Amino acid sequence: MYIETVRFIVPPSGADAFESAVRSGVADLLQGNPQCFAYELSRGVGDPATYVLRIEWTTDSDRIGGVRDGEHLAPLLAELRPYILSVAEAYITETTPVRGDGGAILGLGLP
């Protein structure tokens, strides 16, 4: 699996609009993309202007080229166009066999 990570720096004044753009446009496009396993948008705890969009792609996506050249790219870029200059970094990684579960039980929080 390939993991695409894009870090955005979005001023607090634009946070709501950015989250809305990702929620409405990007989410719809990724949900319809057969090469996308999952995605998530997270926000920095210490620096709330920092957002990370993490997308999990299939390995049969021609080394991501198929995704970048596919029919989903143009609408995705159109939705993110106002935020392109906010991209601080973007990179693609590949999973390794090193993985495991932690001790926490998903859905249960500490008191």
**pLDDT tens per residue across span 58-102:** 887 665 555 566 666 677 777 778 888 899 998 889 999 998 888
Asked if residue 101 belongs to a domain, the reply is no
Asked if residue 57 belongs to a domain, the reply is yes
Asked if residue 64 belongs to a domain, the reply is yes
Query: Which band of pLDDT confidence, cut at 50, 70 and 90, is reported for residue 17?
Result: very high
Report the domain count for the chain: 1
Asked if residue 70 belongs to a domain, the reply is yes
Global pTM value: 0.81
**Predicted pLDDT of residue 68:** 60
Asked if residue 105 belongs to a domain, the reply is no
- CATH number of the CATH domain containing 17: 3.30.70.100
**Predicted pLDDT of residue 85:** 83
Asked if residue 100 belongs to a domain, the reply is no
Burial of 65-82, coded b for 16+ CB within 10 Å and e otherwise, reads eebeeeebeeebeebbee
Q: Is the pLDDT of residue 108 over 70?
A: no
Q: Is the pLDDT of residue 25 over 70?
A: yes
Which structural domain, as residue segments, surrounds residue 46? 2-94
